[in-house]
Amino acid sequence: MRLEGQDLSSLRAGENSLTVDMHAQLMGLYEALRREFGPREWWPADTPFEVMVGAILTQRTNWQNVEKAMERLRAAGALDVRTLAGMSPEQMHELVRPAGYYRQKSARLSRLARWFWERAEGDPQRLATRPTDDLREELLSLRGIGPETADSILLYALERPSFVVDSYTNRAVVRHGLLEPGCGYYELKELFEANLPADIDLYQDYHAQLVELGKRFCGTRPRCAGCPARAILGEPIPDEELR
Ligand code: SF4
């Protein structure tokens, strides 16, 4: 990732057009997380298409199971967009099985592979002139691809500045009163996109840092002692008061 060694103050250029307090808070949070966790090097994949496959496989399962399914796909020579686009969902069942929900996921992979092959023959450069919003709409029109999966594909496979949020992001943001409980995906996404520069490397690493925050500290039960977010965002609102 190009963020390694980069002077983060350069990302503050254009600050006047942003909501300065929230911008400072979100950048402060990012810097604190990065100091604690280091660069996350996310998304782990060799090609944009592998990112897409991973984005489908990771739905409702952990990454260890994704890796098992990816290994089967790789061993079968199916981690290639042309090959996968030419396979039926039924032919993928045994390959996808370790990731769970293998029938649904095989059908989703089949739709996504066909889309990527027909639109770009597997080459993201062929989509270079397409506006991000158009690509997002097309991805969302594929059954089984929701906002988080679409944004993951846009950000990590197609390298578009589309911030990815998830339940980990939601927990930390709501516990610190940045948004109200019950806020939706698009409110969360807007919080970050409206207050950060549209920098792809920043977005990629920031989402990964928030996932790490959720895994290590801000899970279903928050473990606030020693959490790096606390010094930046202050004392959290107790969960009992958020219900
Ligand atoms: S201080 Fe507590 S509530 Fe805040 S992000 Fe860390 S674990 Fe979550």
pLDDT of residue 13: 37
Task: Ligand 1, residue 230: give the atom nearest the CA.
Answer: 1
- Specify the residue for token string 């808070």: 25
CA distance 54 to 93: 15
CA distance 39 to 57: 24
pLDDT of residue 112: 98
Cα 189 to averaged position of ligand 1 atoms, centre (Å) = 19
In the chain, DSSP finds a helix count (H) and a strand count (E) of 13, 0
CA distance 23 to 26: 5
CA distance 153 to 52: 6
198-234 b/e (C-beta count within 10 Å ≥ 16 → b)? ebbbbbbbbbbbbbbbbeebbeeebeeeebbbbebbe
Task: Ligand 1, residue 213: give the atom nearest the CA.
Answer: 5
Cα 233 to averaged position of ligand 1 atoms, centre (Å) = 9
- pLDDT tens, the chain, 243 aa long: 333 333 443 343 344 445 669 999 999 999 999 999 999 999 999 999 999 999 999 999 999 999 999 999 999 999 999 999 999 999 999 999 999 999 999 999 999 999 999 999 999 999 999 999 999 999 999 999 999 999 999 999 999 999 999 999 999 999 999 999 999 999 999 999 999 999 999 999 999 999 999 999 999 999 999 999 999 999 999 999 998
211 half-sphere exposure, CB direction, 13 A CA radius: 19
Task: Ligand 1, residue 228: give the atom nearest the CA.
Answer: 6
Task: Ligand 1, residue 235: give the atom nearest the CA.
Answer: 1
Task: Ligand 1, residue 171: give the atom nearest the CA.
Answer: 8
| Ligand 1 pocket, mutate which of 168, 169, 170, 176 (most atoms under 8 A from CB) | 176
Pocket of ligand 1 (CB under 6 A): 172, 175-176, 217-218, 222-224, 227, 229-230, 233, 236
Task: Give nearest CA residue, ligand 1 atom 2.
Answer: 224
CB-CB contact of 140 with 134 (8 Å): no
Could you tell me the domains of the chain?
8-39+165-242 (1.10.1670.10), 48-157 (1.10.340.30)
pLDDT of residue 14: 42
Cα 219 to averaged position of ligand 1 atoms, centre (Å) = 9
pLDDT of residue 6: 39
CB-CB contact of 60 with 91 (8 Å): no
The model's pTM is 0.91
CB-CB contact of 73 with 53 (8 Å): yes
CA distance 164 to 43: 12
Cα 36 to averaged position of ligand 1 atoms, centre (Å) = 14
Cα 190 to averaged position of ligand 1 atoms, centre (Å) = 21
pLDDT of residue 243: 86
CA distance 191 to 210: 14
CA distance 130 to 108: 23
Cα 119 to averaged position of ligand 1 atoms, centre (Å) = 42
